[in-house]
A and B are shown apart, each in its own frame.
Chain A
Amino acid sequence: MSVERHEMWEEDTAAYVLRALSDEEHTRFVRHLRECHVCRDEVDRLQFAVDALPRSVEPLSAPAGLKATIMAEVESDVREQQPAPSLGARLRERFSRVPALRPRVASATAAVLLLVGVAGGFGLSQVTDGEERSVDAAFDGTRVASGSGNLVIGGNDKAGGTLRVHGMPKLRANETYQVWLQRDGEVIPKAMFSVSDQGDGLTAVDDLDGADAVMVTREPAGGARAPSGPPLVTVKL
């Protein structure tokens, strides 16, 4: 790392720890951090100050009803806890509840959705540059007219990756985008994220080792335990 190259970035350290960089700048700075120990040290130092900021806030009590709402969701999750069925089974079960669809039609529809959403057919491409690889995301063109994005995966899949999307539909106040990981037929809930007015969003995706696909659905705020519909975004791995 040359001194000149480092100096290009050092002014960004504080904006980075305050989360005040744009999504693009943030991604570039994270890449720089991987190779610059000087900036990593400064980030660690400044992070100490940032971590103290929320402790300056006047202490308030959380509203009484909030705990009941959250624990009701938690208890419901625990009751439902059982080996998760595959996405196909979830979709078949979901469509079987639609009275207008006969079972054979519903089953065929779910299979088509799976083929469209999970198997792709949107023209995937992968670029490998040695240390990390970028996998293009495929979008459901009927719901995301002009979507684009990719998943940048570190050299070791276990380290996770960064999913970046553009052109996503705007969320309502009570909605979130949620990431799902498909592995060995199971669908695992992951991080939630929102998008800017321009439909740009960025989120980390961890635990990619052995994953078959990363998907994104639109869910109620707080997220869901199982996808509520076919994915808007699919990254086939």
Chain B
Amino acid sequence: MANLADEEIMHLVQESDPRAFELFYDRHSGPAFSLAYRMVGNRTVAEDVSQEAFLSIWRSKLRYQPERGSVRTWVLGIVHHRAIDALRRNTVHDKRRASAEGIEERFEARERTDVEVARRDEARTVRAALEDLPDEQCRVIELAYFGGFSHSQIADQLDMPIGTVKGRMRLGLEKLRRTLVGEPA
């Protein structure tokens, strides 16, 4: 089973095969927890978010549609939604502030496999593309995606019109896309 593609494992998961789900978890739990932790900034809440996401996949038999992207993208989309829900439930923002900056807990993935090395390379590539954006575009994108803030909350925080926030989001994402696919600006 370990040699099956993500899509094939997903098919078995939808047939309620617990061994397939265990393999599914092994493949995706690292990126899922990484994203949750990046968003909520707290180990306990990130664990809760990851647990909610995986159990909802298992229990709700959420539908994966291959034509809309990879299994990894789909899983991370579900984690992102759960993390935003947690952020908007309010409790997380307090815990996040309480986890003093600079004494962040670390659970760095050990670089043991080719897959993990490839993940680090990929992370560096996307981070470089993000850092290549003008600061004001990068900031609104990060506040929205990783911070879970709405455009109006971002406008309040940055003291700028909502239209400006939306415009910067749009320009930033378009530039990021072009950079990642190698299209000229």
Footprint of B on A, CB under 8 Å?
Answer: 11-15, 17-22, 45-46, 48-63, 66-67, 69-71, 73-75, 77-78, 81, 171, 173-174, 176, 189-194, 196-197, 206, 221-225
Q: Do A60 and B126 touch (CB < 8 A)?
A: no
Residues on the B chain within 8 Å of A17, using CB: 173
Question: Is B59 a contact partner of A221 (Cβ separation < 8 A)?
Answer: no
Asked if A61 and B173 sit within 8 Å, CB to CB, the answer is: no
Q: Known A19-B144, A20-B169, A66-B33; judge A73-B55 contact (CB<8 A).
A: yes
* A-side contacts of B59, CB under 8 Å: 77, 189, 223-225
Bound CA–CA A67/B167 (angstroms): 41
A148 to chain B, nearest CB (A): 20
Known: A60-B34, A63-B107, A173-B91. A18 touches B145 (CB 8 A): yes
The yes or no answer to B9 lying at the interface (CB within 8 A) is no
B116 touches A (CB below 8 Å):
yes
List 27 interface pairs A-B (beta carbons < 8 Å), by A numbering.
Answer: A11-B163, A15-B151, A17-B173, A18-B173, A19-B80, A19-B84, A20-B149, A45-B177, A46-B174, A50-B145, A50-B173, A52-B126, A53-B141, A54-B35, A55-B126, A57-B38, A59-B116, A60-B108, A61-B108, A62-B33, A63-B33, A63-B43, A63-B107, A66-B29, A67-B25, A77-B59, A223-B56
Set of chain A residues within 8 Å of B152, measured between Cβ atoms? 22
Closest to B35 in A: A54
B interface SS class:
helix
The residues of B with any CB-CB pair to A shorter than 8 Å are: 16, 18, 21-22, 25-26, 29-35, 37-38, 43, 47-48, 50-52, 54-56, 58-60, 62-63, 69, 73, 76-77, 79-81, 84-86, 88-91, 106-110, 116, 119-120, 122-123, 126-127, 129-130, 141, 144-146, 148-152, 154, 163, 165-167, 169-170, 172-174, 176-177, 180-181
